[in-house]
Every structure is written in C-alpha cells, then in structure tokens.
Amino acid sequence: MRSVAASIAFGMLLAAGCAGAPSQGPLRSAVEPPERLVAPKSLPDDWFVAQASVDRTPSHGGQWTRIYARTAASIPDASVATGVGEEPDIGVPEPRDRVDLGATRGVMGRRKGWYVVTWQPAPDIPVYVAARGMTRDQVLDLARAARFREADGSLRLAPNVLPAGFELQASAPIGPLGPTPRREVVALVDGTGAHRVTLDAFSGGAAVREVARFWALDGGAPLGGGRTRSRLLGDTVVLARGGADARGLEAILDGVGVVDDGEWRALRARVLDLPLTAFLTPSLQPGAGQPVMLGGVVDGQRWGVSITAGPGPVGGSYASFSHMVLDPDGMLAGGANGGAIDLSAPMRSLGGGTFGGGRGAGAVGVGVVPARTETLRVEVPGQQPATATLGPVGPDPSHRWYAVYLPGVTTPTTIVALDASGTEIARGTA
C-alpha cells in the first residue's frame, strides 16, 4: 500500500464531505473500552475460543465513519457513507456490474436495500460509497461526485451533491469490520475451522451506538463479508460478525453477558484447548495423503503444524506444511513451507519458521526422524533441553514425523533421537 493508505486501518471508513479529523457535532464519539467485560456464558456445540483480549489504552485519532441522513431516526431508511478499504471490491454483493464513474471505472453491487460502488482513484487506494434507501442512479451520481485527496487521505462529497436535507448525523471510528481501536475482542471458531465469529465489545456515546447499528442493518454491512448482528448491553455495544448463520449468530449473542475477572481468565484459558483442526489449514498438495497434525501448549501459547506428503514434482517425496502459534491475545505467527524429503538420511529437517516482534519470538520446526525414535530431545544453547512432539510413521516405514515449537528461540538447534532404551540413534540440526 502507498504511504497514505498505510495509515488507514483496514476496513475503516473515511466519510463523505470532510477531511482529517471529523467535524464537531452532537453525535460524535470515540470508541472506548467497555466499562465491564462481556463474553459468551455458553457456546453452541463444537465451537471454541480462539482469542479473548482487551485494549484499554487511551483513544487515539484515526479515520472516522460518518453517516449522513435527514435525521438520526431515518438512518435505517435512507443514508450514505463513503470509505477507504484494502481491496477494490471486498465484500461487494453479487451480482456485480462494471460501472463508468467518469475518470475511472468501478464495481457496483446490490444486496437487499444496499448499493455499494468501489473503485481506485489512485493506485492501491480502493474507496467505496455505501448507501441504502436510494436508487441505483442516485448512488452512481454520489460516486461520480466523490473526490479523493491524496494529500490528506480523504474522500470528499460536496454538500450540494447530497440528497436534499441530508446532513451529518453520526461520526465514530467504526467500519464494516469493526471499531478502531479494537477494544474487547472474543474470536470464536468451530471445530473444523471453516466458520469463525468475532465479537467486538466497546462503549462510547450516542454516535458509537448509531454507527454500530448502521453496519448491522439488514443483518450485515455490504462490505466485509459474513453476517453482522448488534446487541446493546447497558452502555456496551456488542457487534457479532462472521460465518455462522443468522440463527447461530443470534444464539451466540443470546449467551453474551457481563463476566467477572475469574470468568474472563477462564475464557482466555480456553484458547489453549483449541483443537488443531480449528486453526490449522491443511496443504492442498496434489496426490498428498491425509494431513498429519501435531501441536501442543508451551508457556501459555497454543501451537500446531499440519503436514501433508506426496510424490515430488520430479520424483521422490515432497512434504508441505503450515504452522500457527497463538495465545489468548491473538495470533503470534503463522505461515507455510515445504520441500523435498531426503529419505536416504536417518533424519531430515524440513525447516520451519521463526518470528519476532512486539509480542515475542520463537521458532517452529518440522521434519522426519528414524521410525524407532521414542524421544526427540532438542538442545538449545544456554537452556534446558526441550522435547519435540512425535507423530506417526511416515512418509515411509523407516521414518516418523516430528514437530517442535521453541518460544524465544530464533537460532538453529540440535535434535537428538533416542530409542526406547534412551540410546542415541541419530543427531542432526533443526
């Protein structure tokens, strides 16, 4: 993304008719942490907790959503917002049409009472107009009249191009993908990993409630994908978004209530019980067999790898794997790798991934060792030895899989294979 786009948080909207900080108005408020934590008291069967975090840092400036309508009460009937996103047509409802916007072309879609137009006024700067309760021609006219200013990253609509009587009704930093900053976040996933629901909880003034309600109209915003539902618990807004069906989202929201510190800690601890199938994506390597999934819990972090093996493109065996490391505050690392497997050697490292950043560092390693290995010791300079996780025999009868995660380690380590008697049978580098 270009520098101006890099400062625009994903999914946050830049509303029509202004630039920079939002203008003062009766319905303008920042997103604040909820006064009391809220969370699901119960979950549907086969749903799990993938994240439970809260951010109480002071509010900061950013890009604000502005909702324009004749009155606040009329927002559900007719309203318009403009925005800046990451992808030109992300979440635009089907069917989509290519439309002429004068200086450029865009994509237009419709769902229920929504029209959405997206385009790029400059390279890597996708913008959009989202409107409800208007005709197709009215929305196209608004999109054609919008002007993007790269100097301040604003998408502008002059007051004279808005429908008669339309004024700014609410301004808050909440986009179709949620608020900025994210305050309380609870991420849920089903056991297959195919469906995910994110609960955002936050507080603020009347503007926060109005903008959140706007994005949940008709069961979900036109951008961002999935369905959206909102619920007000006292002064706390809860937005539920994701891949569950409408009844599933309602069931999850019905289970949300105020929790105390003990209940919150228990919820965060459930992240460590997340099934591997819920957060790992198997490789789609052609000709590969069933994936082998290995993982565990180390120092309050859940980690796992998914390995698939099959014939190599020029003969021999080839393995690919994906890995992920997460904790209750979210994902720490993830990626994919692969390579040819030299089965003539007693042990073979397939590599892995190292990471480092504000929330920690570590390394994930994957490979094969002799099939009769019963313990795989990992020797880290200056630390106590660790033990790798051993998998089933494969990809041939003389080897078996292994995987290891080492928090805080980013340098090569030595692995030592031991048989059932504790005798060393192989040694190598991971």
pLDDT band at 339 (very low <50, low <70, confident <90, very high): confident
* 72-96 pLDDT, tens digit each: 899 889 998 877 765 555 567 777 8
> What pLDDT score was predicted for residue 89?
55
Q: Which of 76-90, 208-222, 283-297, 386-400 has the lowest mean pLDDT?
A: 76-90
CA dihedral over 66, 69, 73, 76, signed as positive or negative: negative
Residue 387, classified by CB atoms within 10 Å of its CB into exposed (0-12), middle (13-18) or buried (19+), is exposed
Is the pLDDT at 333 greater than 80? The verdict is: yes
Is the pLDDT at 101 greater than 90? The verdict is: yes
Largest Cα span, the chain: 85
Instruction: Characterize 198-219 residue by residue with b for buried, 16 or more Cβ atoms within 10 angstroms of its Cβ, and e for exposed.
Output: bbbbbbbbebbbbbbbbbbbee
Interatomic CA distance for residues 408 and 184, integer angstroms: 27
* 185-212 pLDDT, tens digit each: 999 999 999 889 999 999 998 999 998 8
Strand locations in 133-195 (E): 147-149, 154-156, 167-172, 174-175, 178-179, 184-190
pLDDT higher for 394 or 245?
Answer: 394
Closest CA to 362 of 385, 390, 332: 332
Strand ranges across the sheet with 79-84: 96-100, 105-111, 114-122, 125-132, 79-84, 65-69, 167-172
Mean pLDDT value of segment 205-231: 80
> What pLDDT score was predicted for residue 86?
52
- What's the Cα-to-Cα distance from 284 to each of 277, 289, 307, 319, rounded to whole Å? 15, 10, 10, 11
How do the domains of the chain map onto residue ranges? 3-266, 280-429
Mean residue pLDDT of the chain comes to: 83
> What pLDDT score was predicted for residue 24?
43
Mean pLDDT value of segment 33-52: 92
Mean pLDDT value of segment 294-319: 85
> What pLDDT score was predicted for residue 23?
39
* Percent over 70 (pLDDT), the chain: 86
Closest CA to 172 of 143, 152, 202: 202
CB atoms within 10 A of CB 163: 17
Is the pLDDT at 26 greater than 70? The verdict is: no
The residue type of 229 is R
Is the pLDDT at 3 greater than 80? The verdict is: no
Interatomic CA distance for residues 214 and 208, integer angstroms: 10
pTM of the model: 0.83
Interatomic CA distance for residues 366 and 389, integer angstroms: 10
| DSSP SS3 for 375 | strand
* 341-362 pLDDT, tens digit each: 777 888 888 877 788 777 788 9
